[in-house]
A = this chain, B = another copy of it.
Amino acid sequence: MRLIWTSFLLLLHLISIGQTKTTTSDEDAFYIRKIYDTALTQGQCYEWLTHLTTKIGGRLAGSPQEAAAVEYTRQMLDTLNLDKVWLQPCQVPYWVRGEKEQVRIVNSKSIGSLDLKALALGNSVGTGGAGISGEVVEVQHLEDLEKLGSKLKGKIVFFNRPMDPKQIRTFNAYGGAVDQRVFGATRAGRFGAIGTLVRSMTTRLDDIPHTGVNVYEEGDKKIPTVAISTNDAERLSQLLKKEIVTVYMRTTCEKLADKTSFNVIGEIKGSEFPDEIILVGGHLDSWDVGSGAHDDGAGCCHSMDVLQIFKRLNYQPKRTIRCVLFANEENGLAGGKEYAKISNEKDEQHIAAIESDAGGFTPRGFSADADEAVFTDKFRQAIEWLPLLEPYGLYFEKGGSGADIGPLKSQKALLFGFRPDSQRYFDYHHTEIDNIDAVNKRELELGAASITSLVYLIDKYGIK
């Protein structure tokens, strides 16, 4: 797909060579160069991210850390001398992990007892203080559950389909495996299973469990579910080839009453078309383990830096540029939904929105999405800018954008997902090691520069 669009662009480009040349693109190239220079020498994203991750830490929706992050980022936006900074309240679920999970092979004839490295999955119910024990049944696919049917009664189901290492983009491998984590428990519960273990979502073999959201579908029995590290998943699977394995699991996680949280918003008003909004955003919440450096502290700090860079350059946008740090992306999307609801009520018009939620790695480009009726026309306009972004290693492609900005499709906005290099993302995603030492300062700054450059072009030329 990408090749076709690139060819199309270059056809346009080749045609344009034959036409009268204006200086516009030279001016734009010059300005984009200035944006990169500023990001690489006076960017603030790394400093902000260091604070967010080392002074505040994991920021699960509803938690005190999330409240601290809301206040910190509001203050930081406030230092930028923007036209407006505000908090937009929304109701978020509040799930707590409770005591350290215990997951233990208790009966193996060959290896005796073995503790597995485990993390309860988000929104999971707990096992109760006494814990549960059950024989383990390994499956690869959700569909396997139906085949096994009543054999699952009283069992602990172990979902062990690995992410496909052959995918070049790791997000595709994630997309091909994550159904086990999201729907494994709710589906297994239908057949009388008492709990589930899920292989962590990473292509690495290591001892680090990856948490993430679990969803119970309406009417299903809620059974407890935990992720185990890939090394432990391999071990357990080997063991199951030889013998019947019983696992004991104990989790005290639970959902408490909903809390009020906030989307943190700052904007520079447009001078000519203030009603045309260009949104840049990430999500401020993270999981409770680690400190959400790549997911998605990076995206928040990218988005704030877009405004910082424009202010530092004394850039006066024609259109309104708005930075939104969304609440509760990880386990509910309350922030994104509330933002779109209020925006629609106010009859706002977002002409474009860019979400950075794929980490703070070296930028590769942007994927674009929009309502089908307008996509081709709008994307064609964006593609004309590619020669200005290509020297910085950026491409455009058709694809998803971001979970928080998705609802803005109804406003016919052109939605972009920032796409950094994906190879290392799932080494850290939803783990205790997603910390600032996993983030390279230059890579993060280049992300801010890339997004700022795209916003500059959208602001200057608009999207009709």
Contact = CB atoms under 8 A, between A and B. Distances in A.
A364 interface: yes
Interface string A370-409: 0000000000000000010011110000000000000000
A262 interface: no
Given A3-B390, A166-B40, A391-B3, A362 B204 contact: no
Chain A, interface SS category? helix
B441 A204 contact: yes
A293 to B, nearest CB: 15
Interface stretch (A6-14, A83-91, A242-250, A335-343): A6-14
Interface in A293-336: none
Interface stretch (A139-147, A281-289, A419-427): A419-427
A36 B364 CA distance: 20
A135 to B, nearest CB: 32
A237 interface: no
Contacts of A55: none
Contacts of A443: 423-424
Total copies of this chain within the assembly: 2
A440 interface: yes
A442 interface: yes
Interface string A422-460: 011001000000000000111100100000000000000
A357 B14 CA distance: 35
A40 B441 contact: no
A28 to B, nearest CB: 14
Residue from the set A166, A203, A427 with the largest chain B CB neighbour count within 10 Å: A166
A168 interface: yes
Contacts of A37: 166
Contacts of A364: 393
A41 interface: yes
Interface string A151-166: 0000000000000011
Interface of A: 2-3, 6-7, 10-11, 13-14, 36-37, 40-41, 165-166, 168, 170, 203-204, 362, 364, 387, 390-393, 421, 423-424, 427, 440-443, 446
